[in-house]
């Protein structure tokens, strides 16, 4: 069944018209990596302490979707979508903001993620396996959480991907996978029980050269917002830049969808971890 699901997700991603950039005449996202975690993995409970109590466990997400007492185990499917090379290459020489190709990817390509989430949900539900994609559920929230009131959400795709063994975190808080850091993530919780994949027993930030070797820090220099330092990621500065007026104007100037942002993601290109982990 794992292979059937994988094949269906890959088919949808490769055939979907929403996954096509008119600018680069290629896909926004290449073939995904897909891994499975047990919905009862104790790490999901630990996230309540590590992040904040509002971060949902798969059981809580499932029961919010289908009602109290409906959960009897299951699987979290984490999907990692690598950003196409043409878009990545276009962003490498940029120093003050994203390239046109990247801005249009951020404006239109991000809209593909909820479509894919909906497709997987429907596909599995139709086969009788109750499934919910938390980030498109009406109870998904993105807001300040925890004692420091830093921006977060009640379903962090990077922490889900970590639990499913897809990679680890970086100095800039990005997720570094076998396909690098220039990736996007989504996940679903299903009542279908599948064999979980294994995850690393190395530290949670092992793929990052700064943490593992004390070198690199290239993303610090790449950040046009001054949001990165050896101390980590200033979410407020990052957000003000990546989703501020300038980036909205930039997206509009390239013909992006009104109201969307060009993003930034300079910390995800022209860095040693862009499309592969820098160390093994
Ligand atoms: C809120 C949000 C933001 C906020 C805050 C980011 C943040 N770090 O949380 C702001 C607006 C700043 C932001 C900016 C960007 N975002 Co954003 N954002 C989100 C969103 C909606 C929720 C994130 C969340 O819940 N965070 C929870 C907090 C607690 O996580 P955290 O602080 O990073 O966690 C740290 C600690 O927990 C720590 N940690 C400490 N000890 C331990 C121990 C263990 C065992 C573990 C596992 C972890 C751990 O690890 C982390 C790193 O230090 C997600 C989508 C989603 N639903 O997940 C996208 C998401 C994280 N964003 C994404 C992207 C691409 C961006 C941008 C590049 C902008 C853009 N779109 O171009 C920038 C830069 C991001 C960056 N460098 O982190 C991608 C990430 C892709 C990747 N490779 O990592 C996501 C996953 C969207 C997606 N669907 O793909 N984002």
Concatenate the DSSP letters of all residues of 179-233 into one string: TBSSEEEEEEEESS--PPPP---S-TTTT-HHHHHS---HHHHH-TTS-EETTEE
Could you tell me the two tokens for 137? 């559920």
Instruction: Read off the pLDDT band of 261 (50, 70, 90).
Output: very high
What pLDDT sits at residue 53?
96
Pairing between β-strand 183-190 and β-strand 131-132 as defined by DSSP bridges: antiparallel
Q: Give yes or no for a contact between 22 and 256, defined as CB atoms under 8 angstroms apart.
A: no
The H or E element that residue 36 is part of is strand 33-38
Confidence class for position 186, pLDDT limits 50, 70, 90: very high
As a whole-number percent, the residues of the chain with pLDDT over 70 amount to: 99
Ligand 1 proximity of 47 Cβ (cutoff 6 Å): no
Candidates 148, 145, 31, 123; CA nearest to 81 is: 31
* pLDDT value, residue 49: 97
C-alpha 158 – ligand 1 centre gap (Å): 6
Using DSSP's 3-state secondary structure scheme, residue 80 falls into strand
Q: What is the pTM of this model?
A: 0.97
Residue 56 has a pLDDT of: 98
Q: Does the pLDDT of residue 280 top 60, yes or no?
A: no
- Answer yes or no: is pLDDT of 10 > 90: yes
Percent of the chain with pLDDT over 90: 96
pLDDT at position 244 is: 95
Q: Is the pLDDT of residue 240 over 80?
A: yes
Q: How far apart are CA 1 and CA 139, in angstroms?
A: 29
Q: What is the pLDDT of residue 150?
A: 87
pLDDT band at 146 (very low <50, low <70, confident <90, very high): confident
Residue 140 Cβ contacting ligand 1 at under 6 Å:
no
Whether 140 and 155 have beta carbons less than 8 Å apart is answered as: yes
Which residue's CA is minimally distant from atom 73 of ligand 1?
A: 265
Nearest CA to ligand 1 atom 67: 265
Mean local confidence (pLDDT), 1-24: 97
DSSP track, 92-117: TT-SSS--HHHHHHHHHGGGHHHHHH
Q: What is the rounded distance in angstroms from the CA atom of residue 60 to the CA atom of residue 149? A: 23
Q: Is residue 189 predicted with pLDDT exceeding 60?
A: yes
Q: How far is the CA of 107 from the centre of ligand 1 (A)?
A: 18
50-73: per-residue pLDDT in tens?
999 999 999 999 999 999 999 999
Tell the residue nearest (CA) to atom 53 of ligand 1.
Answer: 173
């Amino acid at each position: 069944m794992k292979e059937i699901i994988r094949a269906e997700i890959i088919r949808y991603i490769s055939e979907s018209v929403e996954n096509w950039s008119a600018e680069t005449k290629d896909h926004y996202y290449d073939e995904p990596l897909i891994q499975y975690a047990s919905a009862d993995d104790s790490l999901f409970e630990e996230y309540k302490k590590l992040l904040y109590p509002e971060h949902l466990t798969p059981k809580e997400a499932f029961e919010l979707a289908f009602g109290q007492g409906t959960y009897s185990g299951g699987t979290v499917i984490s999907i990692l979508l690598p950003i196409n090379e043409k878009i990545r290459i276009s962003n490498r020489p940029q120093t003050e903001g994203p390239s046109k190709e990247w801005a249009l990817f951020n404006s239109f390509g991000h809209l593909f993620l909820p479509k894919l989430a909906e497709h997987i949900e429907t596909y599995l539900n139709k086969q009788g396996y109750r499934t919910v994609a938390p980030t498109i559920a009406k109870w998904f929230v993105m807001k300040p959480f925890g004692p420091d009131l830093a921006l977060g959400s009640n379903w962090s795709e990077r922490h889900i991907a970590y639990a499913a063994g897809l990679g680890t975190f970086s100095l800039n808080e990005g997720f570094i996978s076998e396909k690098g850091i220039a990736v996007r993530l989504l996940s679903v919780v299903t009542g279908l029980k599948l064999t979980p994949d294994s995850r690393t027993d190395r530290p949670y930030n092992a793929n990052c050269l700064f943490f593992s070797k004390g070198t690199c820090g290239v993303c610090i220099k790449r950040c046009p917002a001054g949001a990165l330092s050896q101390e980590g990621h200033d979410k407020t500065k990052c957000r003000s830049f990546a989703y501020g007026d300038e980036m909205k104007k930039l997206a509009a100037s390239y013909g992006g969808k009104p109201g969307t942002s060009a993003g930034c993601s300079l910390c995800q290109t022209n860095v040693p971890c862009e499309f592969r982990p820098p160390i093994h």
